Structure 1
Amino acid sequence: MSAIDEEISPAPAKAAGRPSATLPVTGEIVSGREWDETVAGFDEVCQEQLFTFATTRWPGTVQEPVLFRLGGEIVGGTLMMVQPLPLRLASIAVSKWGPMLKDTHRPDAAGLHAGMIEALIADYARKRGMMLSVLPRASIEAENGRYRQLLARGFRAGSILLFPNRYIVNLRLDDADLRKSFAQKWRYHLNKSEKEGLSFEHAGAERMGEFHALYKAMTDRKQFADHSAYETIDTLMAMEPASLRPELFFVRHESGIVGGAIVFTAGDRAVYLYGATNDRALPLRAGYFLHWHIIRWLRDNTPAQWYDLGGTDGYQGLHQFKKGMVGDAGVIRPVPPVANYAARPLPFIVGQGAFAARDAYHAVQRAIHAWRNPDRRPDQERASGGEGP
């Protein structure tokens, strides 16, 4: 194992750009196996920060799992994805949804996060001359404190997701309060679905073949551009430790499956990954029935506080469906822009240019697909987005 060998001391109270509470964490690059086993117990663990996921999703990047300690105790970490830029003029080191805290309820959480950022700046920006890019996850609070902290430290706003809003359901409600929290129209459709003879099933990985068939049939029928990381799902369903494996759910009508969903459930925020339905699902309102039972299952079987439904890709129908489910007890919050930092001009200029080129390419691809499929409309179980670094 190699180590990030620069220890960061607490910043003086008046040091420009640094919060006074910055804590002296140390970072160490560990093996992928050790990383996944360790972060399985983190409050902020998510699939994008898993070594097993990232090596399958982004094979062209070098994965560097960094664990941070304070006084010998593991307090957080981040999976860094290092991407050389064209002509080898510079490299980008990306932390997507990181750094992660092990315990978000610690009173010194902000200081720990600041310390982890300082350690990353010291190693990736100063010592190794890279552009450091950090993308915090959407905040439950109205203001994204992590992003504000990055800007105060000298990071500059970069690329922003085309449709940044994330729809996040409160999982800590009893059945009565949960139903009351839904928008009136969403609750109306749920009531209708419960009269259709549907049944809910929590399934094991051995039934992934049924979901694959449902998903393939849906994507063939809808012909949508799938920007998700669906190719990683079989690897995730088999990974160790088992607590990191997503959960599989189905909704059945009479003798046949009409819809299904895959949800990542580790940590304090469950995340909807993929969904699929067939033609019979829409008139049955199967999506409402399925998500109602998923929310209740997550509440009763996981410690998660929130259920992140992902984004909408700009589709108004999907917005209305997810907004109604979030209701008045959940939140709709944007993913902030990428925050970029470099200690020298060249890596910053080259890195910003690479992000701009990538964004332009994706915009052209979306425009071409929209032109070729002007009448396509997604249903309510469209797979959630999976934008890359």
Structure 2
Amino acid sequence: MSVRTIPESQHLDLLASRESASFLQTPAWGRVKSEWRRESLGWFRDEELVGAALVLYRQLPRLKRYLAYLPEGPVIDWETDELDQWLAPMTAHLKSQGAFGVRMGPPVVTRRWSAAQVKDGIADPAVRRLDDLAPTERDTVGARVVSQLDELGWRRQVAEGGFAAGQPQYVFQVPLTADGAPRSEDDVLKGMNQLWRRNIKKAAKLGVEVTSSGGTEDLKAFHDLYVHTAQRDHFTPRPLAYFQTMADALSAESPDRIRLWFARHEGDLVASTIAIRVGTHAWYSYGASSTEKREVRGSNAIQWAMLRDALAAGARVYDLRGITDTLDPDDSHAGLIQFKVGTGGEAVEYAGEWDLPLNRPLYAAFDLYMRRR
């Protein structure tokens, strides 16, 4: 096995040969993260391209040394019993590029919990976190990856509640297939809880109209509502320029990669979202909603439209992205998981992010800096 830099076109060809991969592993995402140096890596066996990765390099101040970051990657054979054959040539290459450490997020699932389990856990005063519930599934591939990374000296990055500086360890997903066959719209709708179904029906009755656009001409309308949402919910919004770069980069790579969605009631914008799709995996990436007219249920209407679109496109998973692992109804994050659990999907735990120090003094200084932040 050998690893070397490849052209973006070759990187895209490898991704196209797979059922799906994270959008954070597409060459376009490197252009979104313009403050990082980017590189497309390829794994070769007998000159056959068998794996790929987007690597983002973040430089240390005043030093030409880098943290090499592979968000939700690399795209390799994670089912192998010999993971070191894939990772050793990667780390050797990254070290030759000046990396003092490597951070990656293996795209492998470790555990799943059903919507019914999560709902019961929130109602049970003895349950406070997903860990307090026996999962409906423990993934053997994920367990084997975690075991091998431990043996190889990689360090698990543990973050309170499953959120870190990188990507969330816990997400909420709606499976769009059952026993290998696509689910029908009716089946997905029946899987939702009664409140979601009632809200979708109410939005339609009140005349909420949902539209979508593959272009960026309506991006400011989304962003204005997103800033309003940020002020209401007390988080720091990203600037319009970030979303412009994101939309331009992803849409240039593939016309079906990114879509904007808008829910309007009597001409008023009540909800707006950004959806991303790579192969058979569809993501709800960003969302915004108005404080006014919440009773028309624009957020439910827009999610249902996005779900239907994902089904029509042949997606196998609709991913509502990050949740924390809390099931405490008094926790400020509980409302997020309660909203998402209404879709009838499942809570999913990934292997999380892992670090490998390549230069221990520099990595220790970097780790101390991040902890103090």
TM-score by length of 1: 0.72
Aligned counterpart, 2:24: 48
Cα-to-partner distance string for 1:325-368 (whole Å, 9 max, x where unaligned): 1x2xx32123444322235xxx235324423432441xxxxxxx
CA contact (8 A) 1:27 1:66 kept: yes
CA contact (8 A) 1:147 1:339 kept: no
Pair 348,282 (structure 1): closer, same or farther in 2 beyond 3 Å:
farther
| Residue 230 of structure 1, CA deviation | 6.5
Aligned counterpart, 1:170: 175
Asked if 1:131 is matched to 2:101, the reply is yes
SS at match of 1:211: helix
Aligned counterpart, 1:292: 304
Q: Write the mapping of 1:61-210 to structure 2, written as runs, cut at 5 A.
A: 61-86=36-61, 88=63, 91-101=66-76, 109-110=79-80, 115-125=85-95, 130-137=100-107, 139=109, 142-143=138-139, 144-145=142-143, 146-160=145-159, 161-162=163-164, 164-172=169-177, 173-205=183-215, 206-210=217-221
Pair 151,275 (structure 1): closer, same or farther in 2 beyond 3 Å:
same
CA contact (8 A) 2:67 2:99 kept: no
CA contact (8 A) 1:99 1:116 kept: no
What 5-or-longer segments of structure 1 have no aligned partner?
A: 1-24, 362-389
Aligned counterpart, 2:337: 319
SS at match of 1:81: strand
SS at match of 2:148: helix
SS at match of 1:28: strand
Aligned counterpart, 1:3: none
Pair 52,288 (structure 1): closer, same or farther in 2 beyond 3 Å:
same
Aligned counterpart, 2:235: 224
Q: 2:355 aligns with which of 317, 321, 340?
A: 340
Q: Write the mapping of 1:232-311 to structure 2, written as runs, cut at 5 A.
A: 232-239=242-249, 240-243=252-255, 245-301=257-313, 303-311=314-322
Greater Cα offset, 315-324 or 191-200: 191-200
Aligned counterpart, 2:118: none
TM-score by length of 2: 0.74
Pair 128,220 (structure 1): closer, same or farther in 2 beyond 3 Å:
closer
CA contact (8 A) 2:283 2:319 kept: yes
What 5-or-longer segments of structure 2 have no aligned partner?
A: 112-137, 178-182, 325-331
CA contact (8 A) 2:14 2:49 kept: no
SS at match of 1:210: helix
Pair 86,214 (structure 1): closer, same or farther in 2 beyond 3 Å:
closer
CA contact (8 A) 2:157 2:352 kept: yes
Q: Please give the alpha-carbon distance, in whole angstroms, between the structure 2 residues aligned to 1:244 and 1:67.
A: 24
Q: Please give the alpha-carbon distance, in whole angstroms, between the structure 2 residues aligned to 1:48 and 1:210.
A: 25
Pair 113,272 (structure 1): closer, same or farther in 2 beyond 3 Å:
farther
Cα-to-partner distance string for 1:156-180 (whole Å, 9 max, x where unaligned): 2234335642111112321222122
Give the residue type in structure 1 aligned to 2:28.
Answer: T
Q: Please give the alpha-carbon distance, in whole angstroms, between the structure 2 residues aligned to 1:245 and 1:220.
A: 29
Aligned residues: 323
CA contact (8 A) 2:53 2:75 kept: yes
Q: Please give the alpha-carbon distance, in whole angstroms, between the structure 1 residues aligned to 2:47 and 2:64.
A: 37
Give the residue type in structure 2 aligned to 1:122.
Answer: A
SS at match of 1:287: helix
Pair 118,66 (structure 1): closer, same or farther in 2 beyond 3 Å:
same
Aligned counterpart, 2:346: 331
CA contact (8 A) 1:259 1:278 kept: yes
Aligned counterpart, 2:115: none
CA contact (8 A) 1:218 1:276 kept: yes
Aligned counterpart, 1:15: none
Pair 304,117 (structure 1): closer, same or farther in 2 beyond 3 Å:
farther
- As a proportion of its length, which structure holds more strand? 2
Q: Please give the alpha-carbon distance, in whole angstroms, between the structure 2 residues aligned to 1:169 and 1:293.
A: 14
Q: RMSD of the alignment, in Å?
A: 3.1
SS at match of 1:299: helix
Q: Please give the alpha-carbon distance, in whole angstroms, between the structure 2 residues aligned to 1:352 and 1:196.
A: 58
Pair 256,352 (structure 1): closer, same or farther in 2 beyond 3 Å:
same
CA contact (8 A) 1:164 1:336 kept: yes
Pair 348,274 (structure 1): closer, same or farther in 2 beyond 3 Å:
same
| Residue 203 of structure 1, CA deviation | 1.7
Q: 2:33 aligns with which of 57, 60, 76?
A: 57
| Residue 219 of structure 1, CA deviation | 3.0
Q: Please give the alpha-carbon distance, in whole angstroms, between the structure 1 residues aligned to 2:245 and 2:211.
A: 22
SS at match of 2:212: strand
CA contact (8 A) 1:46 1:267 kept: no
SS at match of 1:304: coil
SS at match of 2:321: coil
